[in-house]
Structure 1
Amino acid sequence: MPKPFPRLAAVATLCLLAAGARASGVAVAVHDSTGTPLADAVAWLEAEAGQAVSKGALKTAEIEQKSLKFMPLVTVVQTGTRIDFPNNDKVRHHIYSFSPAHKFDQKLYSGTTATPQIFDKPGIVVLGCNIHDKMVAYVRIVDTPYFVKGDAAGVGRIDAPAGKYVLKVWHFNMAGGQPAEQAVVVKAGDALGTASFRLPMKPPVSGDAL
């Protein structure tokens, strides 16, 4: 059955974001099909054809290895961003990606000796470790400066100039893997629009609950 309370909490958060807006944009809430908030959902705005979009200043991102995990689990960056991979574990790691959007193979290393990677194609990159099979992380590369990764309540805010956009949402565990989308209009001034999504999730794999 749907879970109403998390959804109501997310709606309340959207209202608070909209009420406290200081710039135009969109507040996004993402749930699964039962109404449970989805942490680590990624949302971004793609401008309609012909609409000018500022590229924005690229920022360096970081995905560390600690306690035999990649942290954070999900990273979203703009096309062309450099990501550093410091190993803060006491053991060495051999990280790699076979994803078409960015393939690389960083042999065994520790500390900060890994070569930084430039993620220059939009798409999804899945990271793994050749030594520790349970280590996994996801990088979503988007060709726009207007994006956000949602919080634990499945809520995030994207600031963007006025215009017509397609709002896209993706989660690493969603069924089908293709982003959900909605057409949105961002109004000028301090108006903050709202949007909500319910995403179908992949069925649990046998043994996941063990």
Structure 2
Amino acid sequence: MFVLRAILFLTLAVSLRAAEFSCTVTNAKGGEPLAEAAVSLIPLDQPAPPVPADAKVEIVQQDQEFSVFLTVVQTGTHVMLPNRDNVQHHVYSLSRPRRFELPLYNPGQTESIVFEVEGQVTIGCNIHDWMISHVVVVPTPWFAKTDDQGAARISAPAGRYRLEIWHPRLGKPDTREVTLSDGSAAQASAPLTLKPDRRVRRATGGKTGGYR
């Protein structure tokens, strides 16, 4: 009974210390909301809790596209890459935090890649040049991705954090320090100066390529 009470007390104490953080990310040039930006809070006063051993996410290959343009994960997360197309893919990354290659990746095949080093990883397909997906690996469980309104919301314990914001057209992350107080709500706005969008676009109509 004592152990149960202690657990309940600790759970209540943690919940009381939790703070709500919201961030609005916009394009500095036009002021419009910026979706698909990674927002993370990296604790400065104490280590972040480790990722659960079974943590995993999926980035599916379907209709000759990746199902997710940007994914945020904590270091140590398994990223599953199932091919649900009826053609082969050649999935790869040349990004320094996680380089890998899955050549002639067959329909129905699923591979798992562990992302153990923080940073930004771009995943592509050597057969379908327009297929691009980004994985942002962060050393914290407190992260979110902005929605169509450019908003991201994170619940985290009180304390000091390094706020990091990244977008595929940004280059280096935008960083600043924020402090969250017990049970409070904090807000931040982040207008980002973006680079030109140079993604390869998928041709409309006709054959789209791919091995069978």
1:52 shift after superposition: 3.9
In the alignment, residue 50 of structure 2 is paired with which amino acid? K
Measured against aligned partners, the alpha-carbon deviations of 1:102-144 in whole angstroms (never above 9, x if no partner) come to 0111021234423210000001111111111111111000011
Deviation at 1:67, TM superposition (A): 1.5
**Matching residue's letter, 1:74:** L
Q: Does 1:31 align with 2:40?
A: no
Give the secondary structure class of the aligned counterpart of 1:151: coil
Q: TM-score by structure 1 length?
A: 0.81
Corresponding position: 1:108 with 2:108 = no
Secondary structure of 2:91's partner?
strand
Q: Cα distance, 1:154 vs. partner?
A: 0.8
CA contact (8 A) 1:126 1:138 kept: yes
2:43 equivalent to 1:53: no
Change (3 A) 1:112 1:206: closer
- Report the Cα distance in structure 2 between the residues aligned to 1:166 and 1:94, rounded to whole angstroms: 36
**Which secondary structure state, in structure 1, belongs to the residue aligned with residue 165 of structure 2?**
strand
State the 1:207 CA deviation.
9.2
| Counterpart position of 2:140 | 144
Q: Which residue of 177, 181, 194 corresponds with 2:175? A: 181
| Residues in 1 aligned to 2:137 and 2:40: alpha-carbon distance in whole angstroms | 10
- 1:196 is aligned, of 182, 189, 194, to 189
> Identity rate of aligned residues, in percent?
38
**Amino acid in the other structure paired with 1:126:** T
In structure 1, runs of 5+ residues without a counterpart are 1-21
Cα drift, residue 56 of structure 1: 4.6
Query: RMSD of aligned C-alpha atoms?
Result: 2.1
CA contact (8 A) 1:25 1:162 kept: no
The answer for unaligned runs of 5 or more in structure 2 is 1-16, 204-212
Which residue pairs with 1:6 in the alignment?
A: none
Number of residue pairs matched by the alignment: 184
Deviations 1:54-80 (A, max 9, x none): 225352110001111111010110000
Checking the alignment, whether the CA contact within 8 Å between 2:51 and 2:74 is kept in structure 1 is no
TM-score, structure 2 normalization? 0.81
